[in-house]
Amino acid sequence: MGIDGGARRGVRALEEDGLDGERRGRGPTYLIVNGDDFGYSDPINEAVIRCHAEGLLTSATLLVNRPATGAALRLAAAQPALGLGLHLNLTEGAPVSPPADVPSLVGPDGRFRPFPGQLRRIAGGGVRLDELERELRAQFELFIARGRMPTHVDGHLHVHAYPRVLPLALRLMGEYGVRAMRSPILAAWLPARRAQRVARAEARRLSGRPVVVADRLFDCARFLRLADPVAGLAEAVASAEGVVELMAHPAWNRSERRGAAEVALLTDPRLRAVLARRGVRLVHYGELAELP
């Protein structure tokens, strides 16, 4: 059943269906709820921690070059169950590298060139590969120098998935011992049946790389448009098999209203109850290696 159909059924119907936990004849569903842009600002930091402490959020990815990065790390240190990954960034703020060392990535002000022009330049070859690697390496090393090892890697505005960035990110993950990445496969966004077919084919193509990715990727904002976001999200996640990542933007930096709506959804006690009844298990990427 599609997401819209699940929303129409409502939470009560989902609870009735899920009283026996996992569906007969299928494996378990593991859910990673990741808050992007951790470290961007104090309001985003606070929203991420609230969604972890009071709701479903299990993971966050850190921007290492923002004024609130240090505060985010201090907050994360007090939340040992929160997985913390690296949010690679090539479009927001200043680079970690000296701007003179990455001139093709920055403008006259020494800051990253902004979206969308920067990503067009990366994809089109306007940014030098050696400078891309230098900046990505600097972000890995700054994260690790703060006393943490990333549970996984993803990218601000999905930069980790860009064709010229992905091979570099994968190589650096291997060097630094990071095993998991948000799916760079566009099929992860497609409707369920089509996604499964395409994702399996793409997974075979990438099978030589020892990288863990989720089987499905959902955007939390997708469910806010539904009449009943709790029911729609619960049905989408519980209908998937394997590992599902839900990408969230609590207190989103581009829309305060959208961010507040995501916080309300992720901290809704009905959602936790429904997912528990459907046998969905909450994890972060760092725990995937321990799964049966």
Q: Name the residue ranges covered by the structural domains of the chain.
A: 3-290
- Taking the C-alpha atoms of residue 117 and residue 291, their distance in angstroms, rounded to an integer, is 41
Distances (CA, A) of 285 to 78, 111, 249: 19, 31, 18
Residue 232 predicted with pLDDT over 90: yes
- Taking the C-alpha atoms of residue 223 and residue 42, their distance in angstroms, rounded to an integer, is 25
Candidate CATH numbers 3.30.465.10, 3.40.1280.10, 3.30.470.10, 3.20.20.370; the one for domain 3-290: 3.20.20.370
The b/e string for 272-287 (b: 16+ C-beta within 10 A; e otherwise) is bbbbebbebebbbbbb
pLDDT tens digits along 90-129: 999 999 999 999 999 999 999 999 999 999 999 899 999 9
Question: Could you tell me the pLDDT band of residue 24, with boundaries at 50, 70 and 90?
Answer: very low
- Taking the C-alpha atoms of residue 255 and residue 115, their distance in angstroms, rounded to an integer, is 16
CA 112 remoteness from chain centre: 22
pLDDT for 5 equals: 28
Q: Name the residue among 258, 226, 217 with its Cα closest to residue 3.
A: 226
What is the mean predicted confidence (pLDDT) over 217-231? 94
Q: Name the residue among 84, 221, 205, 206 with its Cα closest to residue 148.
A: 84
Strands (E), the chain: 29-38, 59-62, 83-88, 153-155, 216-219, 242-248, 280-282
pTM of the model: 0.85
Is residue 262 within 8 A of residue 220, CB to CB? The reply is yes
Q: Retrieve residue 224's tokens.
A: 């806010």
